[in-house]
A = this chain, B = another copy of it.
Amino acid sequence: MSLYVDLAALLGTRIEQGLYRPGDRLPSVRALSLEHGVSLSTVQQAYRLLEDNGLASPRPKSGYFVPALRQMPALPAISRTAQRPVEVSQWEHVLELISIPPGRDQVLQLGRGRPDIGGPTLKPLLRSLSRLSRRQDLNSLTYGGIHGDQTLREQVSRLVLDSGCRIPYQDIVITSGCHEALSAAIRAICEPGDIVAVDSPSFHGVMQALKGFGMKALELPTDPLTGISLEALELALEQWPIKLIQLTPTCNNPLGYIMPDAHKRALVALAQRYDVAILEDDVYGELAYSYPRPRTIKSYDEDGRVLLCSSFSKTLAPGLRIGWIAPGRYLDRVLHMKYMGTGSTAQLPQLALAEFIAGGHYEPHLRRMRSQYARSRDLMIDWVTRYFPPGTRVSRPQGSFLLWIELDDTFDTLRLNRALLPHNIQIAPGCIFSAAGKYRNCLRINYAAAPSPGIEQAVRTVGETVAALLAQA
């Protein structure tokens, strides 16, 4: 990781935490250079990065300032978790989110984790799919090997270099989306009854997998800017026979934070000390607004105990159902579980993806989406600030396209979803992001789609419905 990125992250955290307020002058380039023992150009690079992220704005001859016009709502609270293993519920609410009831395909699904798939930089992928699917001589119609297509595995091996990992293609397995990777990994490591430590709030797919396979989730207190509390994790490791730690540390779903590098490194050390495996979901990692992208936990792994998984569902298109896993020392067991679940993975989308990446189309697409999502984040936070009742707390996503909104403690977002039915709008209720059904007063919304008056109106409707429900209470 470059020095300027570390410095920008440090300054960014101070701004987010309110050490510098909107309109405040930020430290001079010279002062920071002295304070941190880095060159002037490193500080300048750091400021440019902050500028890209909307956290600093330059004024000619006066230096950098915290942008004055943005009125930032408060952050969500650090989660207060039960700190004991619980069985997972909430399936019926997840089912509601992922189903498309007959006659309701016009619903604006603000709650789902869908990227924007309308951009022009996706076109080369469609062309590859179309050309390859005409060719009957290719292997795309038959079973592929259980590991996945070698050309795609080689491309993934190249991509993970950017997150600090050297993983030969032989150690990578292609899966039916990251969903299958997570599911296979959990079953490869855990038996029914085993305890899995998770961030909280946490991806509902993992929560449901734990439920389905009979494992227990131990939710860790999680800071909305830096992720799980390592102190709490260490206490939990002392107290419980934890088998696996499952996290989404980079552009977390749903909170949007990026766990600092120092925490990632310390986490690996902790896992080594207690001999626990780590399952790292990096599905949003390439959508971090900062460049270069953050390191993975896996990049600090020394003995193969980190299982890294990801997919092209958030960066390109979920409908492809192509993910992957680098399972480290657990390769054999993960392969077995993958075989049991679905056999081999579809060939055609693998071949098209490999062609798309090898053709140099992936990076330009990522650049485009990152900057679109970063702009939309600011707009969405503004809309929520404007249209939701005062006191609403909002996350500060550092990547991806998901916003976490915390309402009054007594609020029930399941009721909100029902009240939104006549408006054809659906949000993701907070309770599905918790094993114990916490976060009923929270919701997740998606800002992937290019901003439009229709979406602004929908956010306004959600905000007004929240206010109306609060007034009734």
Contacts and interface: CB of A to CB of B under 8 A. Distances in A.
A213 interface: yes
Contacts of A118: 136
Contacts of A313: 143
A337 interface: yes
Contact of A146 (B99, B123, B339): B99
Protomer copies: 2
A95 interface: yes
Interface string A98-140: 1110100000000010100110001100110111011110011
A299 to B, nearest CB: 26
A91 interface: yes
A212 B146 contact: no
A441 B137 CA distance: 35
Interface centre among A131, A147, A192, A319 (most CB of B within 10 A): A319
Interface centre among A95, A212, A345 (most CB of B within 10 A): A212
Contact of A346 (B191, B344, B349): B349
A42 to B, nearest CB: 41
A118 B140 CA distance: 12
Contacts of A183: 340-342
A187 B212 contact: yes
A343 B177 contact: yes
Given A136-B123, A145-B99, A336-B208, A342 B319 contact: no
A348 interface: yes
A159 interface: no
B342 A98 contact: no
Contact of A100 (B102, B145, B205): B145
Contacts of A177: 342-343
Contacts of A144: 100, 319
Contacts of A142: 114, 117, 317-319
Contacts of A70: none
Contacts of A264: none
A236 interface: no
Interface residues of A, number: 67
A336 to B, nearest CB: 6
A473 B67 CA distance: 85
A319 B143 contact: yes
Contact of A95 (B180, B335, B349): B335
A4 to B, nearest CB: 36
A141 interface: yes
A320 interface: yes
A396 interface: no
Interface string A195-216: 0000000000100110111100
Interface of A: 91, 94-95, 98-100, 102, 112, 114, 117-118, 122-123, 126-127, 129-131, 133-136, 139-147, 150, 176-177, 179-180, 183, 187, 191-192, 205, 208-209, 211-214, 313, 317-321, 335-337, 339-349
Task: Return the 5 tightest CB-CB contacts between A and B, nearest first.
Answer: A100-B145, A129-B133, A141-B317, A179-B343, A212-B340
8 contacts: A114-B143, A176-B342, A176-B346, A180-B343, A320-B348, A321-B345, A321-B346, A346-B346
Given A98-B145, A192-B192, A341-B342, 6 more contacts: A98-B343, A117-B141, A133-B133, A140-B319, A176-B342, A348-B349
